[in-house]
Structure 1
Amino acid sequence: MKKKYAWLLALSLVLSMFLAACSGGNKEKTDDSKEPADKPEVEQVLNFINGDTIPSMDPSTATDEYGFQFLGATMEGLYRLDEKGLTAEGIAKEHKVSDDGKTWTFTLREDAKWSNGDPVTANDFVYAWQRAVDPATGSEYGPYMMGGVIKNATAVNKGEVPVDQLGVKADGDFTLVVELENATPYFESLTTFGTFLPLNKKFVEEKGDTFATSADTLLSNGPYKFATWTSTANEWDIVKNETYWDAKTVKLEKMHYVVVKDPQTAVDLYEKGTVDRAGLSSDLVDQYSTHDDYTVEPDTSVFYMKLNQTKNPALKNVNVRKAISRAFDKQALVDEILNNGSIVANGLVPKDFVSTPDGKDFREVSGDLVKFDKEEAKKLWEKALAELGTDTVAIEVLGGDSEVSKMMNQYLANQLSTNLPGLKVTLKEVPFEQRLELDTAMDYDIQIAGWGPDFLDPYTFLNLWLTDGGNNMMGFSNAEYDKLINETGTTLAQDQDKRYENFLKAEKVLFEEAAIAPIYQRASALLVSPKVQGVFTNAFGATYEYKWASVGAEE
């Protein structure tokens, strides 16, 4: 994820919740000898803002935060994340792993059903996983998430072996046997991710090209299901899925979503009393930081500039890339432009995400690999211009079109053009879905992008930049980097000490080559009503977990 995770900045700063009006208060006593009447039940309805439309609800083709968020709410894989962000029972009740770590046998529950009443079986996982790597599907995440993990996934995707040779088999209706290419320490957490969700083959094939384009062409097996939605909708509803095996745990009856990109609009609605949670842009933080409902949510998503080496010849020069990565004041950006608790990123793997085998935070051990240094940036820039034989370079920066995104885009463009004399920067600001398309086509010079982790391991960040990787999309290639990262999933797969040594070395190579220019690690400044309960923020995968969400009673 996250994916093409290239995330839209609007998600972190605009994503907001609305709360429907709730009734409350005790009924008046009519007889002193009687117990007080119970309070009326609170209406279990929440109203949310989404930062944009949902590009895809097909688990095989989804690549973005919005798609994976709603897949996580409406579907369930072998496991899901619980209230503490740990893997918990989903369709699988338990699993066993062979001594060599390569064969995983999952025992599935027999009471799981699709929203049309069909049972969820091992064959639904076999079909979905085969479909995700089948070259005819055209999935980006199938080969990315399964390649090098599920046996034969890469060979299937390249058309070298038939799809039925993928290492996943059904042993009866409720036993799933998965063969891996190598021992994969993070595989259990990987099964919570959207690409590994099951699909009802009969339903998918019956719907054909219309599958996953509207509420009527979707099936759910998770806590919620779509009541209304189309792929171009600016409003939609998801409601409690009564056929979900654990429906008794789900308290919310409905969540209504509206697409809103402007933080001021969200705050205005909050002030009117109809908005229960509103994301704050930097100019609003100063106004609301003393508000009783103000809070900051840390995040493990990291934002950076992707420096595409295939389109603009200047970016093939390593000193151009090094100069750009050091030429903007990140501290000023997080303090003044974002002003929401985000912190400076001087590496890729985020702070407070994973620990090394000796218990130290990975970011602390790896250290600051590329910092703002205006003088060093100028020296590198002068060297680069001499190597290119020119005194001017023109570069286009691709970014989002939300108000906060535009502020950050303009700030970065100004910093680069001011601190690197002779650099001419133009901005191209587009909606989220269009930016994903331009990324896939590698049709950009520099892109302001980001990534949120898909599973709990440094590999979820560091595998992005493997040569020809499904999320590389910027022409970076380094043989030493490839070797270090590939070894963590092959020869070193069961040696955590050596795996982390490779991860630390690889991250240094990434910035010695100035493949990307890190900007910040995200946090969100929010106004949150205490009436929203049981909504959890995940460290990886879908941003929010709503299975245990509820609307609390008014005081």
Structure 2
Amino acid sequence: MKKTNWLLLVLALVLSMFLAACSGGGDEGSSSSGDSGSDSSGDASGDSKQVLNIMDSAEIPTMDASLATDAVAFQFLGSTMDGLYRLGENAQPEPGIAEESEVSDDGMTWTFHLRDAKWSNGDPVTANDFVYAWQRAVNPDTGSEYGPYMMGGVIKNATAISNGEKPVDQLGVEAVDEHTFKVTLEKPIPYFKSLTTFGTFLPLNKKFVEEKGDKYALEADTLLSNGPFKITEWNHGEGWTLKKNEDYWDADNVKLNQINVKVVKDTATGVNLYETGEVDRVNLSAEFVDQYRSSDDFKVEEEPTLFYLKLNQKANDVLGNVKARKAMQMVIDRQSMVDVILNNGSIPADGDIPKNFVKDPESGKDFREVNGELVSYDVDKAKQLWNEAKEELGKDKITLEYLGGDTETAKNLDAYIKDQLEQLDGLTVKVTSVPFKERLQRDTNMNYQIQNAGWGPDYIDPNTFLNMWVTDGANNKTGYSSKEYDQLIEQAGNEYALEPEKRFENFYKAEKMLIQDDAVLVPLYQRARAQLWKPYVKDVQVNPMGPDYSYKHAYIEGK
């Protein structure tokens, strides 16, 4: 998001009107009340048509919950679907299709009791819909990235199934009856209920999915919803429309009738649409922040979403050299980047765990405070390491390809990073700007050398960031492999699963190894979003994982 997770996975999504990810989310946000602390106890009465108009900077790649990997998809899956639980206030799970649940004394078996709920075609939502969806997500024939990633080591036999070693019907899920869904875990997972709010765990209507085949979830008429809204129009590259789902089990508490989403990649265009009243929210790039900072509509949203350069160690021998990677870490002035280029409240990143995300279980201090700054800005040291790397490689002139986004803000930031990297003697950086969907495909195929990427949490735990980089991890895609790193993460998730202090010690060691010792990533910044929000938009819930925003209880007041 925000791969949630919370996937967000790429810079462009950060800033313009997109989402991200992991993981972080499709459209960009608001305060939880839409008006930064005003009384939101009013209702949606009056002449308002209860229509919300927003923007996104990227197309939805797919609405297939088994195949979704990005924050745009997870944002609108969260808007149109209910899983067992939904994210409520303060990122706490609240009942979705599950009215209640119970867990065995050993923490290994969860039983969910499902309410009467319907799909938008009138079919009942049953326990079999969860069994089918979860089995499909780990079935190697599906080709899901998130299924094995989110369920492996969590749901019994998920890893063996995704590796082709066991049949899918051996997954630890069972429909006891139509309204009782039982899950058997590989080990106790303290945050499992929170995990079930994530998009990969959503149910699927088997008959509908198989009837639509390869076209499933790629058009408005090949989708089913069981959540607050349903997509009724989808004009690829232009935008999409969500309308209230009258068949939703909690439809009485959904106040918006319609959400219109425009794809807009240029910030100036978005600001103009906001000023003319055509949209209700816009993300601001650096040049607009100072202009609107004193406006009552101006808001800054801080998020636990990190952006960094991914370095494909298998792309060439330069990126396979740890000194070259460390030089790239040290040569970028992150403070100037966030102050001048972004100018939206974002802060420099100096590790793989964001600030104000999780606290040490023993001291209560922030994880980032305990583990310290793992990268520094030191141009002289960077040049020294770079020259040593060139000597080891027998190279004088080096050209590296850089994969970035195609939004205005992404291009500006990528140009800055190119300039910073080219302070290294003999280095030429060639930037390629591509749409979000293509960037995802190229990441999956490791068809890049340097990539501007990002990640938002899928659940509130350091593991959601650090587990990504284990050998052959579904979201690793850097070629990084370390037995010692793998052991630290494996031990934290198994032997120390119920020993939080030892578990966090492993996480501290793993993060230092990842960033400080092996220089797998070049941390850039922790995202904040400077935005304008129309004051009549109320009760938009902001999430730190999964969908960036929840519109279930949002409404328009007095427009």
Q: What range describes the TM-score normalised by the shorter chain of this pair?
A: over 0.9
Query: 1:318 and 1:310 mapped to 2: Cα distance?
Result: 12
- Deviation readout 1:426-445 (Å, 9 max, x if unpaired): 11111111111111111111
- How much has 1:2 moved relative to structure 2? 4.5
| Equivalent residue, structure 2, for 1:246 | 250
Higher relative contact order (CA 8 A, sep 6+): 2
2:64 aligned partner: 58
Provide the residue aligned with 2:554 in structure 1.
549
Query: What is the Cα-based RMSD across aligned positions, in Å?
Result: 1.6
User: Does the 8 Å CA contact 2:455/2:465 hold for their aligned counterparts?
Assistant: yes
Q: How does 1:46-445 map to 2 (within 5 A)?
A: 46-109=52-115, 111-229=116-234, 232-358=236-362, 359-418=364-423, 420-445=424-449
Moved more, 90-99 or 322-331: 90-99
C-alpha change, 1:320 and 1:516, in structure 2 (3 Å) is same
Matching residue of 2:39: none
Letter paired with 2:413: M
Partners of 1:107 and 1:362 in 2: how far apart?
36
439-448 vs 264-273, greater mean Cα deviation: 264-273
Letter in 1 for 2:15: S
1:464 paired with 2:468, answer yes
CA contact (8 A) 1:312 1:395 kept: no
* Contact 1:11–1:50 (8 Å) recurs in 2: no
- Deviation string, structure 1 residues 423-472 (Cα, Å, up to 9, x no partner): 11111111111111111111111101000111111111001101000000
Deviation at 1:11, TM superposition (A): 4.3
Shifted more, 382-391 versus 313-322: the winner is 382-391
SS at match of 1:523: strand
Q: Aligned AA for 1:14?
A: M
Q: Secondary structure at the match of 2:481?
A: coil
Question: 2-side partners of 1:351 and 1:11: how far apart?
Answer: 17
- Name the SS of the counterpart of 1:509 in structure 2: helix
Q: Choose 218-227 or 77-86, whichever is displaced more.
A: 77-86
1:83 shift after superposition: 3.1
Paired residue secondary structure (1:208): helix
Change (3 A) 1:50 1:14: closer
Deviations 1:287-342 (A, max 9, x none): 11111211111011100000110012111111000111111100000000000000
Distance, in Å, in 2 between the alignment partners of 1:324 and 1:11 is: 22
Structure 1 residue 246, shift from structure 2 partner: 0.7
Provide the rounded CA distance (Å) in 2 between the counterparts of 1:236 and 1:287. 30
Kindly state the Cα deviation for residue 490 of structure 1 after the two structures are TM-superposed.
1.1
Query: What amino acid is aligned across from residue 106 of structure 1 in structure 2?
Result: F
How far, CA to CA, are the matches of 1:233 and 1:200 in structure 2? Answer: 27
Answer whether contact 2:54 2:282 (CA < 8 A) is retained: no
Task: Name the residue aligned to 1:519.
Answer: 524
Would you say the 8 A contact 1:235–1:258 is kept in 2?
Answer: yes
Residues 361 and 460 of structure 1, relative CA distance in 2, 3 Å threshold: same
Equivalent position to 2:496, from 492, 499, 507: 492
User: Could you say if the C-alpha distance between residues 14 and 50 of structure 1 is closer, same or farther in structure 2, counting changes exceeding 3 Å?
Assistant: closer
TM-score (norm 1): 0.94
- Partners of 2:550 and 2:357 lie apart in 1 by 18
Counterparts of residues 493-512 of structure 1 (less than 5 Å): 493-511=497-515, 512=517
The separation in 2 between residues aligned to 1:488 and 1:159, in whole angstroms, is 26
1:27 equivalent in structure 2 = none
Give aligned-pair identity as a percent. Answer: 57
TM-score where L is the length of structure 2: 0.93
2:90 is paired with a residue whose SS is coil
Corresponding residue SS for 1:491: coil
The CA deviation string for residues 40-97 of structure 1, in whole angstroms up to 9 with x for no partner, is: 4311001111111100000000111111000000001011111332111111122222
Does the 8 A contact of 1:134 with 1:156 survive in 2?
Answer: yes
AA partner of residue 17 (structure 2): V
**Counterpart amino acid of 1:476?**
Y
- Stretches of structure 1 that go unaligned for 5 or more consecutive residues are 19-37
- Consecutive unaligned residues of structure 2, counting only runs of 5 or more, are 19-26, 30-43
Q: Which piece of structure 1 moves more, 377-386 or 254-263?
A: 377-386
How far does residue 258 in structure 1 lie from its aligned partner after superposition? 1.1
Q: Max radius of gyration: which structure?
A: 1
What amino acid sits opposite 2:503 in the alignment?
A: R
Report deviation, 1:498: 1.2
Aligned residues: 533
Amino acid of the residue matched to residue 101 of structure 1? G
Deviation of 1:9 after TM superposition, in Å, equals 2.0
